[in-house]
Amino acid sequence: MRIIGVNETTHDAAMAVIENGEILFAGHAERYSKQKNDWYNNDLILMDALKHGSPDKVAYYEKPWLKKIRIARHGGFGGGRPHYKSTVLAGLPTTNFSHHYSHAAAGYFTSSFVDAAIVVLDAIGEFETSTVWKGEGEKITQVRRDKYPFSFGLFYSAFTQLVGLKPNEEEYIMMGMAAYGNKDRYYEKVRSYFPIYYTQKGNLHRGIQDWAEVLEGQARFDLAAAVQQVFEDRLVEYMTMVKQTTGKKNLVFMGGCALNSKANTLLHGIFKNVWIMPNPGDAGSALGAAAALYGKHLNWTGPYLGTNIPGRYPVDRIMDALIRDKIAPVASGKAEYGPRALGNRSILADPRDPNIKDKVNLIKKRELFRPFAPIVMEEYATRWFDMDYYSPYMQYTPICLKPRLIPSVVHADGTSRVQTVSKRDHAGLYEVLERWYAYSGVPVLLNTSLNIKGQPMLNDQNDVLEWEAHYNTKIIS
């Protein structure tokens, strides 16, 4: 049975195809439309999905009629133009799953666990904003839920807007800003909006309505630091409750809040094992809906599931560029399913050069304070970073143990959002790191997404040609 999973009318439309437990395709609509965080699917992503055969069934990531009821009662988002329509999908048997169940299925059915607590935290689904489930064998059972307007995600998004950023899109920028701030300046005031893990002040979907102080300059960074600290404090409380309630030693964490890598790092102090699927936000629910319909664990082999730029991974040319220019833009193989580039749509660079961070930020047209992630050979991770776990999808931010040697991948607070790489994860990227280590004595490279700020990551060979023509920069593919 071939199933196509669909997510749309949210802030990151996507499609995924599975067949008998194998993941054949998963991609983001934005990579095809070139509209960042596109809410709607399109003919181009459907054509890519259909290369793997016509689907027998359609799985949809939420129940639109429940969302309409919530909007009618309480207001909020979820309207806009009608769903993307396709004659190919019309008439096929369609099953709708709840928003949070799709998240839960995406996480649990891609994990290696057969016994785990599953936590979903996001802004809002239909009504649910926080849910806890037990995954046992091939069964997922809900054990707790919190409803709108209480929401971890809406708390973070409301303050994202208050510091002058775009909510539901630029939360990750506020997370980066937090490292430059004094959290004590606004901690108690921010805490009053979220004093304990099950209570909040007002309806934060409407934003922060009663903040009188004008936020300029350093104050924005201080507020970001306070918000991040309050979020972490409440998350630890919530996850501690989950551990006590479920009695599970394994955790699956999903929803947009699972993209907060700084907070995620704390989870290793609560649970023995943690799995965060590399696309835990709404786009990941395209795969989640398909997995929910399949009803069993999938054969998860990694996040490289999108459009393919064929050919062997260009190890020699990457090394030549790194040695010659210290920067190597790469587009090769299948595109990553998720918001983070993990080697196939990446800009790699020499982390030893303290000026490389600014150079790459200028290429990407980003704010100069923005941090970059290190990729490290898996077997050397614990020598360079304070971690006792693997992080193949850039989901945690341990302290860097050798910041003077790799200054361009260490944030202002001394942490690094680490990607560990093994041969099983990505043989080509591992070989690059292996050869770079032999050349430089450092088993680490800088890795960031191949895109310009506000634009999706490059997807196919046409994108490569357009980039080269527009920015006069050669991409290795």
Residues 446 and 404 both lie in one domain: yes
Residues 187 and 333 both lie in one domain: no
% of the chain beyond a pLDDT of 90: 90
**What's the pLDDT at 75?**
66
Domain boundary among 249, 267, 294: 294
**What's the pLDDT at 80?**
47
Place of tokens 């979220």: 194
**What's the pLDDT at 4?**
97
Helices (H), 247-355: 261-264, 285-294, 315-325
d(CA 409, CA 352): 9
Q: Give how far the C-alpha of residue 466 lies from the chain's centroid of Cα atoms, to the nearest Å.
A: 26
Residue 347 lies in a domain: yes
Residue 329 lies in a domain: yes
Residue 127 lies in a domain: yes
Residue 476 lies in a domain: no
Residues 132 and 81 both lie in one domain: no
Residues 55 and 168 both lie in one domain: no
65 and 127 in contact (C-beta within 8 Å)? no
Place of tokens 């501690």: 240
Residues 337 and 198 both lie in one domain: no
d(CA 297, CA 312): 30
d(CA 103, CA 287): 9
d(CA 32, CA 44): 6
187 and 229 in contact (C-beta within 8 Å)? yes
Helices (H), 75-124: 99-108
Residues 105 and 120 both lie in one domain: no
Q: Give how far the C-alpha of residue 369 lies from the chain's centroid of Cα atoms, to the nearest Å.
A: 20
The residues near 199 (Cβ < 8 Å, ≥ 6 apart) are 150
Q: Which CATH number fits the domain that encloses residue 420?
A: 3.90.870.20
Residues 343 and 463 both lie in one domain: yes
Residue 477 lies in a domain: no
Give the total number of structural domains in the chain. Answer: 3
Nearest CA among 186, 157, 191 for reference residue 171: 157
Q: Which residues of the chain have pLDDT under 70?
A: 75-84
The residues near 213 (Cβ < 8 Å, ≥ 6 apart) are 219
What 3-state DSSP class applies to 19?
Answer: strand
pLDDT, one tens digit per residue, over 417-458 is 999 999 999 999 999 999 999 999 999 999 999 999 999 999
Domain boundary among 268, 294, 320: 294
Residues 310 and 369 both lie in one domain: yes
In whole angstroms, how far apart are CA 72 and each of 41, 66, 68, 159? 25, 10, 6, 25
Residues 123 and 222 both lie in one domain: yes
User: 350: exposed, middle or buried (C-beta count within 10 Å: 0-12, 13-18, 19+)?
Assistant: buried
**What's the pLDDT at 374?**
98
**What's the pLDDT at 86?**
78
Residue 299 lies in a domain: no
Residues 375 and 460 both lie in one domain: yes
Residue 217 lies in a domain: yes
- Whether pTM > 0.85 for this model: the answer is yes
User: 216: exposed, middle or buried (C-beta count within 10 Å: 0-12, 13-18, 19+)?
Assistant: exposed
Residue type, 378: E
Q: Are strands 419-421 and 14-19 parallel, antiparallel or unpaired?
A: unpaired
Residue type, 85: K
Residue 448 lies in a domain: yes
User: Could you tell me the maximum CA-CA distance found in the chain, to the nearest angstrom?
Assistant: 62
Q: Which CATH number fits the domain that encloses residue 45?
A: 3.30.420.40
Residues 95 and 227 both lie in one domain: no
CA terminus-to-terminus distance, the chain: 34
Which secondary-structure segment (H or E) carries 177?
Answer: helix 171-177
Residues 32 and 141 both lie in one domain: no
Q: What is the extent of the structural domain holding 208?
A: 111-276
